[in-house]
Amino acid sequence: MASTIAHTHDLSENLRFQYGSYSYSSLGNYFSDLISPNHCGSGHNIPCFNSVGANNGYEQAFGPLGFTFNTNDLAFFAEDSWRVLTRFTLNLGVALRI
């Protein structure tokens, strides 16, 4: 029987679209907002995506940029072999992870 203890300290930094992401369904919609970007958003540089039926959008994520966590994993493994015939051996193993 074998046992293993694994301590993991993980730092996850994966806040997608933290700076914002524009998406346009066509080049015509992109150039329309590029040519006159200030016609929406009260004088701000915010496109209005006004094409009818277009699949345009803006996406931005908010919140912490990352997080950390610690975890302890405990695992056991046991195996045994039985010689059933002279040319046939049966090997069985069981693994348990907590």
Tell me the average pLDDT across 12-24: 77
pLDDT at residue 39 is higher than 90: no
pLDDT in tens, 41-83: 444 455 555 544 455 777 887 777 788 889 998 999 999 999 9
Whole-Å CA distances, 39 to 13, 22, 45, 60: 36, 17, 9, 21
Domain count, the chain: 1
Tell me the average pLDDT across 86-90: 93
Structure confidence at residue 82 (pLDDT): 93
Of 73, 40, 70, which is closest to residue 58 (Cα–Cα)?
A: 40
Structure confidence at residue 40 (pLDDT): 56
Phi, psi (deg, nearest 5) at residue 30: -65, -50
Is the whole model's pTM more than 0.85, yes or no? no
User: Does residue 65 form part of some domain?
Assistant: no
Its domain, for residue 84, covers 2-8+17-60+70-97
